[in-house]
Amino acid sequence: MENKGNVLMHKYEIGRLLGQGTFAKVHHARDLKTGMSVAIKMIDKEKVFKVGMMDQIKREISVMRLIRHPNVVELYEVMATKTKIYFVMEYVKGGELFNKVAKGKLKEHVARKYFQQLISAVDYCHSRGVSHRDLKPENLLLDENENLKVSDFGLSALSESKRQDGLLHTTCGTPAYVAPEVINRKGYDGAKADIWSCGVILYVLLAGYLPFRDPNLMEMYRKIAKGEFKCPNWFAPEVRKLLSKILDPNPNTRISIAKIMENSWVRKDLQSRPCVLAAEVKEPAPLDSEAVFGINEISCAAVEPKQEVAKPCNLNAFDIISFSAGFDLSGLFEEKEQKKEVRFTSNKPASTIISKLEDIAKRLRLKIKKKDGGFLKIEGSKEGRKGVMGIDAEIFEITPFFHLVEMKKSSGDTVEYQKVVKQDIRPALKDIVWSWQGEQQREQLQLQEQEQQELQPSHASTTQVVSTQNSA
């Protein structure tokens, strides 16, 4: 039995509920052997399998077992039964840092202490190849001694998650704290994106409100893209200077964590303590995260068929905004250039879309180089003007029965790529395409132009027609 009375696995006495989410509950518990308080996160296996979150849970286990730092919530052990997965974690009873900030700005020396601890923890995570990707006050806990603990590694990424370009491509995080390069969807360095989030957190601790805020989401993204923020008058000059270096919209010139740790304002009041990186780190016992999901696989067969096609990515708020033609964010980040991607929607299952793309690639004598979930990498079989043409195709789930597909050139000549897409790929996809992005807008513009020409006298100037279209 999973629970006999209020005792779990004959090891932990289960106490009060601390928090609850869609797939998990967190309870306070007591180790029967040592009497130590712990927090136990109870995850519903069936729900996790149904929504395709197995990889995310496995990643969270792998990441949390890599990190042993005084300012990171520790994972003690992972247990599993037929129906549940249990994370036994360090109990941090001081609550979220967010609750402190919600009452107003913090004193400078208090904010500096939390920032020092945050930077120390993030630096250690990066040294272990881990990017958190969702740093915000809600994910920073405080213990009984008012020390900060980084939690919630559900969106974190390991260095092996990077694609061939050496960058991460999953758009995730919390909008107000996310770096501009993440919104841009062109790939980003997870460590540099974490540094930006640390800068937003520092600003919030000292100001009591966000640096980039606007009731209009697109206007907020514009401010983030340009690094447009103002410091209140109580910010010290050295803080303003530090924030301008952290909240630099260009990740290539953004200050590094090493430089932040050398900053005179950051080092002020820094209590001498042994360097965590140099300290002996107790390695956890090895754990096969696959085994956590493999317990009694027969009981999970109904929710995880062995032959099921890997699930495509779900669209989040960032994706929906950036995929929408009316919300094209690219102009905020770069000069307009020849489009290298095309998108279409389909009411066919992901497996049908993948099969169709594979058939087209085979007919055009293109090679499928990589197939991972809803992501396909297609390459030409011969050298073109600018090397071998490469096409990345990614499928995003809007609903289980409606998908958005993005195809973009990853290498080779743009003209050659556009010719193949227009003359070969697009016609071959017609039986699975619901609509191509931008097609409706083009049809509307053509209709408006036609109506305008019928209404205007024959001597109407081209300028007038264009002007009327734009105003429409």
Q: Is residue 299 part of a domain?
A: no
Active-site choice (44, 123, 134, 165): 134
Kindly tell me the number of DSSP H helices and DSSP E strands found in the chain.
18, 18
Residue 333: inside a domain: yes
Q: Active site includes 134?
A: yes
Same domain, yes or no: 101 and 163 = yes
Question: In whole numbers, what is the pLDDT of the chain averaged over residues?
Answer: 77
User: Nearest CA to 153 among 185, 180, 181, 124?
Assistant: 124
Q: Are residue 325 and residue 350 in the same domain, yes or no?
A: yes
Q: How many domains does the chain have?
A: 4
Residue range 18-69, pLDDT digits in tens = 888 777 889 999 999 999 999 999 998 888 877 777 777 887 888 888 888 9
Q: Is 41 annotated as a binding residue?
A: yes
Question: What's the CA gap between 229 and 223, in Å, rounded?
Answer: 7
Domain extent at residue 418:
313-437
Give long-range contacts, CB 8 A cutoff, 24+ apart: 292-297.
292/57, 292/58, 292/61, 292/78, 292/80, 292/85, 293/45, 293/54, 293/57, 293/58, 293/80, 293/85, 295/80, 295/81, 295/82, 296/82
| pLDDT digits 0-9 by tens, 250-302 | 999 999 999 999 999 999 987 644 443 333 344 444 455 555 555 443 333 32
* Domain end call among 66, 91, 116: 91
Do residues 447 and 430 share a domain?
no
Rounded Cα gap, residues 407 and 396, in angstroms: 11
CATH number of the domain where residue 121 is located: 1.10.510.10
Q: Note whether residue 453 is domain-resident.
A: yes
Q: What percent of the chain has pLDDT over 90?
A: 33
pLDDT in tens, 336-357: 445 567 888 888 888 888 888 9
Domain final residue, candidates 232, 251, 267: 267
Which CATH number covers residue 359?
3.30.310.80
